[in-house]
Structures are given as C-alpha cells and as structure tokens.
Amino acid sequence: MRRQQILFSVVLASAMSLPAFGQTPPQGAPSREKLIRDLDEVARVASVMVDGDLCQRIMTERASARLTVVDPKNRWAASDDFDVNHENYIQVKKLLIRLSRLVPYPCDVNLWMPLEKSPGKIQILIRNANEMSQFWTWGALHQDTTPAMREVLESGQRRTVVEKSGMVSVLAPVSNGLGDIVGLVEVVSRVSIDAHENVK
Amino acid sequence: MLKRCHDFLRLMWALLLIGPFVPVASAAGAELLAYREYLRPDPFGGVVAQDAAPEDLRKGTLNAREGIVVEAPRGGYVSFHLVAKIPQPGPYAFNLEIADRAGKIQADVFREWFHFVDADSHYYPDALIPVALPYRSELPEPDNRIPNQTAQAFWVDVWIPAGATPGVYRGRATLVAGKTRAALPIEVKVLAAVVPPDDAVTLDHNSYGSSWLGDLYPKLRERLGDRFYQSDEFFGLIHAYHRIFYEHRGVYHQLGYGHGGKVGPEFAPALAGSGRGKHIASWSLFDRHYGPLFDGTAFARTRRGPKPIPFVYLPINPEWPASFLWWGEPGYEAEFVNVISEMERHFREKGWTQTYLEMIFNQKKRYKAFPWDGDEVRFAKDNEYYLEYGRLLKKALPPDTPVKFIFRADVSWMMEDQFKTLSGVVKFWVGNSAILSWYPEAPPKLRERGDIVWYYSEAPSVQEVSSAITFNPFKTWLWGVDGYLHWQTVDPGEDPWFHFNGGSVVLAYPGERFGIEGPIPSLRLKIQRNCLQDIALLSSLTRGASADVLKDEAARFYNGTKPVDWWNPRPAMASLPPPEWSDSIFDQADQAHTTAIKNLRPSAWENVREFVFQRASEAK
C-alpha cells in the first residue's frame, strides 16, 4: 500500500500540476473544454494506477453470488446481502480519492465493475464524496452497461461522455495482471457545481 | 377593549350573513354536516368508506342532534369537521364563530383538499388549507376540480389555552348558498384539566437534504434564482417546517448529508485545511440555519412558545469532517478531533446546550460509497466502525461539556447484539418496529442505563382507517419507549393533488399552490397531534394510578387488546446470523402488530379519549 502511494506520487508529480495535496478542492469548475482535458488526464493516470486484481476482490463471494438473485419470498435479499471485503475496498477507494484530487475543483473517480455472471450488466462499486455520476441510477444495485461503457471495456480506449447537462465524464479501462479489462473508472465533474444534488 | 369591539363586529357580521337563525337545513337546501375528527368526509356529502362503519358513523355524526357539542381540556385543541353541502353547483359562503369574551379561545379553519388516489379511484381529504372567514367559494371547488362535487369539508381546530376559564363556550357555523341558509350551534365544553406542555412521547418527522425545497417551491426558487439556497426565504422555509411539526407536538429532523458523504452547505460549518491544519473556516450558513432552532427563537410566535429543538442530526459521516482518505491513519483522528472540538466550543459559547446533537451514520454499503453500513448494521464486522467513532467522539469532547453530543444508531437486524456490544458507546437507539417487538425487556434496560429509545416505521396512508395515525404514538407510550420516527414526512410524491400515491410518508404538504410560502398540515398530522395531547394528559394521570393500570385500560378501549399483545414472541430465526433471515419469516414474526392494526376501528382513539377525559375529571 505504502509503496503504491509513493509510486503514485512520483508518476503524478510529472504528469500534472497538483494542488496542495490533501487540501479540500475549492468550489467552482472551469470551462467544459478544460474539464474534458483535465479529466482525460486523470483517467489516463487512473488506468495505470488502479489495480484490477484488487478490484475483483472487493466484493465478498456471498454478495457476488446473490447480487442478481430475484427471490419473491425475500425481495431485498440482493441489497440486504450486499457486502464487501473492507481492506480491498478501502485501498481502492483511497486511491480513487487521491486521483480525484489531481484537479483543483470538485471531481469524483467512480469504479464500475461488470457482473461476471450477468453479461451486459454492470455495477458502480465505489462512489465518492461529491456524489457525481452521469451513469448511476440512484440506488441501483446494478444496471445495464451503457454503449459507451461497453466500448471502453471492449476497446480498452478512454471515452469522453457529455450527456447530462453540465457534466463531463471520462471512462477509462481498469486491467488486471493478466491483461484483461475487468472494469472501468468514471472520472466526472461538472461545469456548474450543484451543492445540493444527491444530499439525500 | 378594542379586541372586544372587534369580536362584537365580527358577531354582527355573522348575524347579517345568515339572517335569522335557522336550524340544520333540510335536504332540499344548503346543509351543514358535522363529524368528529375520525370521520373523514368525502366530496359528495358522505364519509370515506374506511371510516364509515355504522356504529362509528352514529357516534361520530355531530349534527345528528341539536348542534355540535365537543369537550376538551385546556392547553390543547379540540377538532371536528364541518361540511358545507349544497344541492346545486354554485357559490356559497361559510362562516364560524365561537364567542369568548376573554378572547382566549380561537378557532382555526382549514379547507380540506380531496386527493384523488389512482390506486382505488377514490377521493380522500388530507391536505388542510388555512382559510380566512367568512370563506366564499363555489362548488365544485375550482382548484380541486372534482366533477359533480356537492360538498366541501372544513377542518376546525379550536385552540383552548391553558389559561382559559373552564366552562361552556358557544358559537355557530353558518352556510349560505343562493337563497338557502343553514346554521349549526356549537358548544365547546372546556374542562378544568390541563394538557401538560411537554409530551410523554416524542413524535419525530424526518427528511433528507434540502433540494426538495427547491422542487416543492418552484415559484420561489425561480424568483430567487441562484440565491435561493442562501436566501432568507430558504432558511425561513426550513424553520417553517420545524414550526409546523412543533405546533403539532412533534419534532422535525433533516439529514444534511448523502450516502456518499456529500454535505449540504447549510448543514455544516465550512471547513478548510487538511490533517493537523483542518479547521472550521466559516459558521455563516450553519448559524443562519441552526441558530434560531438552537435558541428557540424560530418558534417565538407559536402558541407553544419559543423552545430550542430537542434533537438535531449532525453532519458527521465517514467523509466529514475527516476525509475518508485518511481513515485508519493519524490524519483521520486529527481532522475529526480538531473540527468536533471546535464545534463543541462554538455551541458552548453560544449557549446551545438544550439540543441533543446526534452523531448518526446513515450510509448503507448498497449505495456503494463506503464499505460498512452505518444505518441498520447487518454484518457484525461493521460494529468495529461504531466503536472507533465512539472513541473519536470521546476524544474530541471535554469530559464535562454541557453540550449534548450523543451517538445515535438506527438499528434492525443486529439490535439484540448491538445493545450489548455498543453499550456505553451508542446512547440513542432508533429500532425497527417489528424487530424491537421481539424484545420487550430491552427498552426498560436501555432506559435504565440512560439511553434514549425510539422506533421507526412509515406513516399510514390515507387509504387506511383514519385512526391508523394514532397507532404508533399509542404504541410508543404502551411500549414505554421515548419516541417514534415517521420517515420522509415532507415527500408528497409526484402529484399529491390529482394523482396521489396514498401518502404513506407525507404529513405536511407544500403550500405554494395556495399562495403560502411554507408547509400546510395534513389531516393525519392533526389527528396525531390530538392523540399526543391525550397521551400527555393520560401520562400525567399516573400520579393517581399506576401506569400499568392506565395502559391496560387504554389498550382495552383502543382495540380490545392488552399491552402484552403489542409485543411479539422472539422467533427462532433471531438466533441465526441476520444474513440468514428472510422476509417471509420476518413478516410472520410481526403478526401481532399487523393483526392489531387491521382490527382498528375509526373511533378507536375517540374511545381512549373519552376514558382519558373521564380519568382527568376524576383526578381533579
């Protein structure tokens, strides 16, 4: 973990102009064009830094097995039984927070993981503090993979998406040690920050 | 003197309006009907089917005799429905007067909105729109848009202050429609008994964030534009929501952060810095929001008088005030302790020491932002976070602080275990109703060690019998717990006015469509308030009789049960790890609760009320 953080700092110091690390990003965001450039750079770094093997070990086996179970006698089983391995989750989440702080304005880096046993389905597995996403249906445990996500998962190329008003997301692939693309990150921000959105 | 002249002129105006007194009009002309609070009128001169059992109708129809006769103790309200019924569409005028030379007794009148519920294609009255008297309109009511509407209902709240003189007060209700007129005499018997100002149980009403205010008040939001969320009007709205629940003997909570830890700016002081340097940069929005609530001035012009709110959610969550980036590291503790210590100092200096400041974790891991459940822990490993936050809170606070920080947990599956493992850490428990019903021995034990105990569930929808709203307040008192939480009580659904979802959460509606920049009450909120008054009075009578005897009697009058019937046996599955429980077993384990509510009569609470008034009269 420590070694990864040092490597991370070295890689990024040359890649980007950093705000004072650990500082809460100031409010306000730049133009859409600058957002697209900045977020693409964060996404490029994220593809290198996020450990796909670790991401695959975030969910507990039991929760993974029950994620798509539909049981009329136990309607909330999949949600109620959703569970993660804390250490793996925390390790990846901290990295995503660090990545989001590469830009000096509110930004989230979310982790999305396809459901292995349900082709075409994907879940957001780690969200972050600004609660931004262009893709997450609030409260959904899993959802359909969007065409843009599918493209990234299949091609391994980053993809910028500007669909929801004022929001910019850059999707970037996450790979494991075998070279398989096992997930993707959504690096997201907005031109105009909504301080009250998703405070619920 | 001026006030008396004013009252006299109003009376003269009323006499002019109705002309010579006419008793209840015949069916051929304008007709005034009157019902006790539990008989909800429909827009066609009848009563909502769920409330219209023959025996209850007989008992609750107040205009069946010479006029309306109601009785009530002082320090509270007595309420009833008046229905203006006219045979032909057209204009009408409705008025009501209650004479009190001392000018203490006041009547508030509300027009009852009839909500069309798509699920069963019926109308139910619920939202109450304050009206000035005399009220002039026409049927069908233009804004309610009910085809063939022949009756408009009004909710009447008669406020009897504690200082009113016991005795009989008279008044009348009048209706003029075309050439026909009707009137009903009103007699309010004010008892010597006084409803205690403090409640025996706390009725909480919760909500999440504040973006819904922008959604429910679109005209105001449009007028103020980008300034909306920092405007005086915005904070005025928040305070108005606190006020409406306070005026109805309730408490209001507004959670200020999301499941990912995003904090609404008005719910937390603004922070700056990081690690050792993390600190509070500004109290501006926080103090505008909470200052009048913590010192009670937000309630200055209420009938109950100014009083600090008893409870509030703090913005503390896994991402605030410390960043989750440092979780498990010294930096997390430094950021947490710095900021919470500053908050404690600020509250102490301001004298904000009457309110319980709740550290509550609402996040669920299913919403994918944190690895542990704060709300309703289901996995034992998640309790470790509770222990750590308990340690951090203790470290942040001076041991002798007069500021009432308290660690709260909303619990369900794991409550039996958590009552033990988090003993001394969590001091405020809000339990799932069904699961808490398995542990009758738990509340007294928890309260004995100084903990606060509430439970939660949803409000009954308008499609349930009117008395269903009294079920949980009464159960709270029967169970001997401190409070009860209604969930999401400000969410009216997408179209409450013409395509209502039944309102199984909402108890206060947005008033904007009626020109009111603030919430308006629901009929259910009124019935609940009146029930709380009775419980407060009943509870005060324990000086003359044991609480157990009163509970036995009250439960018998309510629905023919005994207090023990309100608990469920602990099911065998409770010994299994919660992840092995299933919904179906869970439902079976809550059978006593569901049976009790299914057997509820519309007049259930009225029966208890009669018992309370009788005991109160004997107690003097």
User: How far A89 CA lies from chain B's nearest CA (Å)?
Assistant: 6
* CATH code for residues A2-10+30-53+90-190: 3.30.450
Confidence class of residue A197 from pLDDT cuts 50, 70 and 90? confident
- Could you state, in order of their start, the residue ranges of all structural domains in chain A? 2-10+30-53+90-190
Structure tokens of B187? Answer: 């007699």
- For residue B573, the model assigns a pLDDT of 87
Q: What number of other Cβ atoms are within 10 A of residue B426's Cβ?
A: 25
Kindly tell me if the per-residue pLDDT of B198 is higher than 60. Answer: yes
Residues 6+ apart with CB under 8 A from B230: B266, B285
B389 within some domain:
no
Determine the average pLDDT of the residues in B137-159.
98
Kindly tell me if the per-residue pLDDT of A199 is higher than 90. Answer: no
The pLDDT tens digits of the residues spanning B247-300 come to: 999 999 999 999 999 999 999 999 999 999 999 999 999 999 999 999 999 999
B198 within some domain:
no
Q: B604: closest CA among B562, B564, B566, B557?
A: B557
Kindly tell me if the per-residue pLDDT of B27 is higher than 80. Answer: no
Residue B303, CA atoms < 13 Å, CB-side half-sphere: 22
The answer to whether B150 touches B139, Cβ cutoff 8 Å, is: yes
Share of chain B above pLDDT 70, in %: 93
- For residue B542, the model assigns a pLDDT of 78
Determine the average pLDDT of the residues in B409-428.
97
Confidence class of residue B456 from pLDDT cuts 50, 70 and 90? very high
pTM: 0.93
B611 within some domain:
no
Q: Hey, is B444 helix, strand or coil?
A: helix
The pLDDT tens digits of the residues spanning A140-160 come to: 999 999 999 999 999 999 999
B533 within some domain:
no
The pLDDT tens digits of the residues spanning B201-234 come to: 999 999 999 999 999 999 999 999 999 999 999 9
B304 within some domain:
no
Q: What does each C-alpha distance from A46 to A8, A56, A126 come to in angstroms? A: 10, 16, 14
Determine the average pLDDT of the residues in A47-73.
94
Confidence class of residue B20 from pLDDT cuts 50, 70 and 90? very low
B423 within some domain:
no
* Burial category of A18 from C-beta neighbours within 10 Å (exposed 0-12, middle 13-18, buried 19 and up): middle
B615 within some domain:
no
- For residue A28, the model assigns a pLDDT of 55
DSSP H or E segment with residue B38: none
Nearest residue of B to residue A133 by CA position? B260
- For residue A15, the model assigns a pLDDT of 44
The answer to whether B369 touches B259, Cβ cutoff 8 Å, is: yes
Interface of A with B in 57-86 (CB under 8 A): 62, 73-77, 79-84, 86
B6 within some domain:
yes
**In this complex, do A90 and B365 lie within 8 Å of one another by their Cβ atoms?**
no
Q: B501: closest CA among B202, B119, B143?
A: B119
Determine the average pLDDT of the residues in B514-542.
96
What CATH number is associated with residue B30?
Answer: 2.60.40.10
Determine the average pLDDT of the residues in B585-610.
80
Q: Residue B117: which domain range?
A: 2-191
Tally of domains within chain B: 1
Kindly tell me if the per-residue pLDDT of B597 is higher than 70. Answer: no
Kindly tell me if the per-residue pLDDT of A75 is higher than 90. Answer: no
* Least confident window among A90-99, B36-45, B304-313, B566-575: B566-575
Kindly tell me if the per-residue pLDDT of B599 is higher than 90. Answer: no
The pLDDT tens digits of the residues spanning B352-410 come to: 999 999 999 999 999 999 999 999 999 999 999 999 999 999 999 999 999 999 999 99
User: How far A97 CA lies from chain B's nearest CA (Å)?
Assistant: 6
- For residue B16, the model assigns a pLDDT of 37
- For residue A29, the model assigns a pLDDT of 57
Please name the residue that has the structure tokens 């026909």: B180
Interface of A with B in 148-177 (CB under 8 A): none
More reliable by pLDDT, B457 or A108? A108
Kindly tell me if the per-residue pLDDT of B65 is higher than 90. Answer: no
**In this complex, do A24 and B367 lie within 8 Å of one another by their Cβ atoms?**
no
Kindly tell me if the per-residue pLDDT of B589 is higher than 90. Answer: no
Contacts 24+ apart (CB under 8 A), B280-285: B280/B339, B280/B342, B280/B343, B280/B346, B283/B346, B285/B230
The answer to whether B287 touches B301, Cβ cutoff 8 Å, is: no
Query: Choosing among B253, B257, B262, which should be mutated to test the A contact, i.e. which has the most A CBs within 10 A?
Result: B262
Taking each helix axis as running N to C, give the angle between helix B523-540 and helix B604-619, from 0 to 180 degrees, rounded to the nearest 10. 30
- For residue B458, the model assigns a pLDDT of 76
Determine the average pLDDT of the residues in B107-130.
98
More reliable by pLDDT, B179 or A12? B179
